[in-house]
């Protein structure tokens, strides 16, 4: 069945106590809205419509950054989830497929669950995704009779008996687009919140002789995020699942509970990720790489046989070829490190390329920024850069060249050349001893004066 997505993301999220729209708060490095969009993308939707309201521009930007084909329906006033879905109607005018409603604040619905909903649609006009809640709290309650769903009762409107129901509404609903908008047109706002509840369409559908059912999924998939504690719990839940998946996929982690992944982190099998490694978005670690303790990686690619850290920082655009070494307190940004090259200690390599088996001495800095613009440093194959070299970009060091330690390199170094760019040493015999004596005398005089 062809399907389109309607993702509700207009709410303010008062309980977040934030200037930022709720759906832009991040879980594992991505806005929760993007998690919902990723989940829905598994259905290969014809249209993805995001309903925006609070912080509309920022929400639209985030939605289009993830999927430039996403369409935006604006809900100028947040009159409820039913009203929000209605805003998408003009964009799906005449659409013959199904519509699935997802909530932007419910990031973890799985592919498998959405597939089961699509399956259940073969035998029911309306399919709602429910879950058994350990603590049903403020969730809407699903009133079932057998496998038929009778109605959804919002917490605010529920009597004591209904509040004891633990089978809850996740917010995900599937129906044909035509049926959905038809039902929503009949929803009123005569309830405890004075809102147009999407959930009311179940009772309306049943009154019209349509069939409705609810399928269940694990509570971990449907957790709605409404507050900072819930955001923190969602992060923890995500990390727990991702760590388990990594171990399953053949990644070695001596202390998985200390490793933090992003939503899209990829690690190949037989890689080792040591304690307290943190991944930001967009990191790929090939099979057989080794990331040592306390390293921070984002937007980078690490090839087979590379060893990173301990205490290394790889920033966006760091591209490490096979068998490279990035050691402690080294930062790499927007730089290609060719096969077998080494940057082992205390360096900054930014906007640069290092040739094969180049060796960068401790304390080397590529001075890439002149205060206004960024410039590139190019270092050839097998180059030996002496410790504490400043490479003032733009600058090129040819293959098989060397720089003397402590050099400030401002001009290109031809291949095979040795560049020395530092003051010549002057040595004065006995001068240090004389200086010490003079200084100690001075200090004694001061100390006596103070008494």
Residue 132's H or E segment, with its range, is: strand 126-132
Q: Which of 29, 55, 224, 355 binds Ca ion (CB under 5 A)?
A: 224
238 binds, among Ca ion, ligand UD1, none (CB under 5 to 8 A by kind): none
Which CB sits closer to Ca ion, 226 or 344? 226
Using CA atoms, how far residue 348 sits from 173, 326, 358, 383, in Å, is: 51, 11, 15, 17
CB of 79 or CB of 277, closer to ligand UD1: 79
Measured from each CB, the residue nearest to Ca ion is 224
Q: Which residue is nearest to ligand UD1, using beta carbons?
A: 140
Residue (80 or 361) nearer to ligand UD1, CB: 80
**Cβ closer to Ca ion: 105 or 331?**
105
229 class by beta-carbon count within 10 Å (0-12 exposed, 13-18 middle, 19+ buried): exposed
**Residue 351 in contact with residue 327, Cβ under 8 Å?**
no
> In the stretch 39-78, what mask flags binding to ligand UD1 with x, by CB under 6 A?
------------x-x---------------------x--x
Cβ 96 vs Cβ 2: under 8 Å:
yes
**290 labelled catalytic:** no
- Residues making up the chain, counted from first to last: 451
Q: Where are the beta strands (DSSP E) in 190-346?
A: 212-216, 266-267, 272-273, 278-279, 284-285, 290-291, 296-297, 301-302, 307-308, 313-314, 318-320, 325-328, 331-337, 342-345
Does the footprint of ligand UD1 cover residue 107 (CB under 6 A)?
Answer: no
Q: Provide the minimum distance between the beta carbon of 33 and Ca ion in the complex, in angstroms, as a whole number.
A: 13
- Tell me the CB-side half-sphere exposure of residue 38, using CA atoms within 13 A: 16
213: contact with ligand UD1 by CB under 6 A: no
CB 160, min distance to Ca ion, A: 23
Task: Establish if 21 lies at the interface with Ca ion (CB under 5 A).
Answer: no
State which of positions 98-157 bind Ca ion (CB under 5 A): 105
Q: List helix spans (H) across 23-66.
A: 32-41, 56-66
- Round to whole Å and give the CA distance between 97 and 46: 9
**How many helices (DSSP H) and strands (DSSP E) are in the chain?**
10, 34
Least distance from ligand UD1 to the Cβ atom of residue 376, Å: 44
C-alpha torsion sign, points 335, 339, 341, 344: positive
The smaller minimum CB distance to Ca ion, of residues 105 and 125, is found at: 105
Contact status: 10 vs ligand UD1 (CB under 6 A)? yes
The single residue of 47, 122, 345, 375 carrying the catalytic annotation is 345
140 closest CA partner among 99, 115, 103: 103
Tell me if 81 contacts ligand UD1 by CB under 6 A.
Answer: yes
**If contact means CB under 5 to 8 A according to the sort of partner, which of Ca ion, ligand UD1, none does residue 197 touch?**
ligand UD1
Q: Of 16, 34, 73, 105, which one interacts with ligand UD1 (CB under 6 A)?
A: 105
CA pair distance 211, 205, nearest whole angstrom: 7
> If you ran DSSP here, which 8-state letter would residue 411 be given?
S
Footprint of ligand UD1 (CB under 6 A): 8-11, 23, 51, 53, 75, 78-81, 83-84, 103-106, 139-140, 152, 154, 168-171, 197-199, 224, 226
User: Which residues are designated catalytic?
Assistant: 345
Footprint of Ca ion (CB under 5 A): 105, 224, 226
């Amino acid at each position: 069945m062809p399907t389109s997505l309607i993702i509700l993301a207009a709410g303010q999220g008062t309980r977040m106590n934030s200037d930022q729209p709720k759906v832009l708060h991040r879980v594992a490095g991505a806005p929760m809205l993007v998690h919902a969009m990723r989940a829905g993308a598994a259905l290969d939707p014809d249209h993805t419509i995001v309903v925006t309201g609070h912080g509309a521009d920022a929400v639209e930007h985030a939605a289009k950054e993830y999927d430039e084909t996403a369409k935006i329906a604006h809900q100028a006033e947040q009159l409820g989830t039913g009203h929000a879905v209605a805003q998408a109607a003009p964009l799906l005018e005449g659409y013959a497929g199904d519509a699935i409603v997802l909530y932007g604040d419910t990031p973890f619905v799985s592919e498998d669950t959405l597939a089961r909903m699509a399956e259940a649609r073969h035998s029911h006009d309306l399919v709602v995704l429910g879950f058994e809640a350990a603590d049903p709290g403020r969730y809407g309650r699903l009133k079932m009779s057998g496998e038929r769903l009778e109605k959804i009762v919002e917490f605010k409107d529920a009597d004591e008996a209904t509040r004891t129901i633990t089978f809850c509404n996740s917010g995900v609903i599937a129906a044909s687009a035509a049926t959905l908008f038809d039902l929503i047109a009949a929803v009123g706002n005569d309830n405890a919140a004075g809102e147009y509840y999407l959930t009311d369409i179940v009772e309306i559908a049943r009154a019209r002789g349509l069939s409705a059912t609810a399928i269940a999924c694990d509570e971990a998939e449907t957790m709605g995020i409404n507050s900072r504690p819930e955001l923190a719990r969602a992060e923890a839940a995500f990390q727990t699942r991702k760590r388990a998946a990594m171990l399953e996929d053949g990644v070695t982690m001596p202390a998985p509970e200390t490793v933090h992944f992003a939503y899209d982190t990829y690690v190949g099998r037989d890689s080792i990720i040591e304690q307290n490694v943190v991944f930001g978005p967009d990191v790929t670690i090939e099979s057989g790489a080794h990331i040592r303790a306390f390293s921070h990686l984002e937007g980078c690619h690490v090839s087979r046989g590379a060893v990173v850290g301990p205490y290394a920082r790889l920033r966006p655009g760091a591209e490490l070829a096979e068998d490279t070494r990035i050691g402690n307190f080294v930062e790499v940004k927007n730089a290609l490190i060719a096969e077998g090259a080494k940057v082992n200690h205390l360096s900054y390599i930014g906007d640069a390329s290092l040739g094969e088996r180049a060796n960068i001495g401790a304390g080397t800095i590529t001075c890439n920024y002149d205060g206004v613009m960024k410039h590139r440093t190019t270092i050839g194959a097998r180059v030996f850069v002496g410790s504490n070299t400043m490479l003032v970009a733009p600058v090129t060091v040819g293959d098989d060249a060397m720089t003397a330690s402590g050099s400030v390199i401002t001009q290109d170094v031809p291949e095979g050349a040795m560049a020395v760019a530092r003051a010549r040493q002057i040595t004065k015999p006995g001068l240090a001893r004389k200086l010490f004596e003079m200084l100690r005398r001075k200090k004694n005089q001061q100390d006596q004066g103070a008494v």
